[in-house]
Structure 1
C-alpha cells in the first residue's frame, strides 16, 4: 500500500497540516522541521499527489509547452532551457507537438485545459485570434518564445530577426561578398520569414547592392527544403559567391547539395546559417552561423511564465542578443 501524507506526518512527528505546508513551499515551520518532513518522505517513498495538492493551492505545478516540431534540434535546445528552470522551480512540463501550420494546436489547447496546467509556453508559431481567445478563457498566463504578438497580456522572448539577418549579410559583405543569395523560411511567415527577408534586402540596399529576385529562394526551415533551394540557386543564381540560409538545417541542406555538385565549401561558395544548433558544429566543414541562444531563451521564457503564475503580474517582453559565430564555411574574397 502506498504511503499517505498521514504516514509522513506520523513518522516526522508533525501535523498533517505542517507536511502540507512543506510540500507546497508555504511558510510557518523551521528548517529543522522541513528536514524532518523531507527525510520522512524519502524513507517512506511518499509521492505527493499533484491533483490533491492543486486542491489546496489551486495549482497543479505543471506547465504546457507547445512546439510545431518537437523532434527538431531547435525545439530540443529551447525545451532544455524551459525544463531546466521549471524543474528547479518544482514544476513539471507537458510537451505538445502542434505540427507544422498548427494542425493540432486547438486539440492540444483543449488537452492542456483538461490537465489544468498553470500556464503555457507557446513557441515558434503565430498566436492567432482563435488561439488567444481559447487561452483567455483558460484564465492562465502565456509566454511566447521565438514568436511575437501585440496582445498586451502575452509577453514574448525572442531575438530581433530583422537585425540578426541584417548583421549576417553585413558580415558576408565585410568578407568581400556582393553576390549573396538567400534561402528564406516559409514565404509570408510573419515571425521568422518576412522579417529575415527584410533584413537581407535592407543590408543589400545599405551597401548599394541591387536586389535580384532570382537570388531569393524559399524553403520551410528543414534540411530537405534547404537542399532543394540550393539546387534552385545553382540553376538560377550560379554567380552567387555566398548563400545565407534562414536556419541551420536549411544551411546544412545547402551544404549537402553543393557537395553533390562537386563544389567545395567555402573555396567555391560560402554558406552561412542561422540558429547555431549542435549540428552546425558537427558538419564538415563546421558552419558559420548567426547564434540565437535557444537554451537561454527557453530558460528566460520559463522563468517569466512561472513568475506570472506565482505573482499574477504580467512580465515584460525580452529581446535577446544574437551574435555571429565564425567557423569554416565562409571565405574572404580577395
Structure 2
C-alpha cells in the first residue's frame, strides 16, 4: 500500500467510522478492545502515517522547535545549531531554522510562520530580543530560551558566556605577555549584547593595569571579515606603535592577520593578535589563531536541554553563564619587557 493512505482508507479497511479510528489513534475512550485491534491492524497493513500537524492539533504538540538566528551561514550559528540539534534529536524533536538576517520585519514574519506551524517552543540566538518579538512569543504561549544573548524579560532564560569578563581576560592575556600598546577591533558600541560589553571588558583591563587607553586604538569592525579588514587597515597604517590587537570576533581577527600580511607586518613577529569565539576558522588561519573560546556547541546543547525540560517536565529553566577560556595557538608572542 502507498504511504499516502488516508484515515478514510483505514476506517474502510477496519470496517469502522473515521471518528472511531481517530479516537483509537488519539487514545480517547469509547470503543471495544476488538475495535482497537482491528484499527491497529488496518493501520499496520496500510502503512498509515497520521499527519504530524493533525496529530498535533489533538494533543497540542508537534514535537518541533523553532530556532531563530540572525545569520545562519556563519560558522558561529552552525556550531550552536549542532548542539541544539543533538539534544533535540535525542528527545524526538525536529528543528525549524529561521535566518532573520538581523532584520526586524523578517523576525516578525518568521515568528508568524512558527506560530502557524505550531512549534512547541522557541530558541532565540545572538541578537537583541526586541519587545515586539517577546510579545509575539508570549502570544504564542510557548516557552522561549535565549542562547548567546540575554534580555531583561521574565521567562526568557539564557545561556551565554560573560562577554565582559571574556574580553577582559583576552586583554589581560596580551598584557601578561608584555604588550603595552594594545588596540581593539570590536562589533560596534551600539550592539548591547556582544558589542559594548566586550569594549567595556577591554577598557577595564587596561585601566586595571594602569595602561593608557587611546580611543583611536578602539575601532568598529562590525563583526565581519570585510569590516575587520577596513578597521585593520586604518589602525595599522595610522598607529604603528600598536604591538597587539584584540579582535572581538574570529573573522575580524583573521582580517587583521590578512591585512598585516598585505602591509608586510609579521604576525606574531611585529603584531600579536587574539580573537574571540574559537570558530573552526581559527585553526585554519595562518598562523593558527589564539582566541577566547565560547563553548558554542555546549551552549546549543544547554539551550535545547532547558527548553525540552520546560516542555516535557514543565520545569522552570534558569539562566546559565558558561565558562570561556583562552585557547593558545600561534598569533601572540611574548614581548621582552
TM-score by length of 2: 0.87
* Counterpart residue number, 2:260: 258
Report 1:40-59 matches (<5 A). Answer: 47-59=49-61
* Counterpart residue number, 1:144: 146
In 2: Cα distance, 1:266 partner to 1:154 partner? 42
* Counterpart residue number, 1:179: 181
Report 1:177-256 matches (<5 A). Answer: 177-256=179-258
Report 1:269-280 matches (<5 A). Answer: 269-280=271-282
Q: Is this contact kept in 1: 2:189–2:199, CA < 8 A?
A: no
Root-mean-square deviation (CA, aligned residues, Å) is: 2.2
User: Deviating runs (4+, > 4 A) in structure 1?
Assistant: 3-7, 15-21, 43-48
Report 1:15-30 matches (<5 A). Answer: none
Q: Does 1:110 align with 2:117?
A: no
Residue by residue over 1:252-285, the C-alpha shift from the partner in whole angstroms, topping out at 9 and shown as x without a partner, is 1111111111111100101110000001001111
Q: Which runs of 5+ in 1 are unaligned?
A: 22-36
In 1: Cα distance, 2:194 partner to 2:145 partner? 17
SS at match of 2:260: helix
Residue by residue over 1:203-238, the C-alpha shift from the partner in whole angstroms, topping out at 9 and shown as x without a partner, is 000000011001100011111111111011113322
Q: 1:45 Cα shift? A: 6.1
**1:19–1:191 Cα change, 3 Å:** same
TM-score by length of 1: 0.87
In 1: Cα distance, 2:142 partner to 2:274 partner? 40
**1:186–1:45 Cα change, 3 Å:** farther
In 2: Cα distance, 1:187 partner to 1:317 partner? 25
Larger radius of gyration: 2
**1:222–1:16 Cα change, 3 Å:** same
**1:54–1:101 Cα change, 3 Å:** closer
Q: 1:3 Cα shift? A: 5.2
In 1: Cα distance, 2:334 partner to 2:68 partner? 41
Q: Is this contact kept in 1: 2:128–2:150, CA < 8 A?
A: yes
In 2: Cα distance, 1:120 partner to 1:57 partner? 19
Q: Which runs of 5+ in 2 are unaligned?
A: 14-20, 28-39
- Between 300-309 and 290-299, the greater mean CA deviation after superposition: 300-309
SS at match of 1:104: helix
**1:239–1:309 Cα change, 3 Å:** same
Residue by residue over 1:69-118, the C-alpha shift from the partner in whole angstroms, topping out at 9 and shown as x without a partner, is 00000001011111111111111101111113445111111111111111
Q: 1:319 Cα shift? A: 0.3
* Counterpart residue number, 1:304: 306
* Counterpart residue number, 1:65: 67
In 2: Cα distance, 1:91 partner to 1:76 partner? 18
Q: 1:47 Cα shift? A: 4.3
**1:49–1:215 Cα change, 3 Å:** same
* Counterpart residue number, 2:33: none
Q: Is this contact kept in 2: 1:168–1:324, CA < 8 A?
A: yes
* Counterpart residue number, 1:87: 89
Q: Is this contact kept in 2: 1:65–1:123, CA < 8 A?
A: yes
**1:16–1:102 Cα change, 3 Å:** closer
Q: 1:250 Cα shift? A: 0.7
In 2: Cα distance, 1:134 partner to 1:205 partner? 42
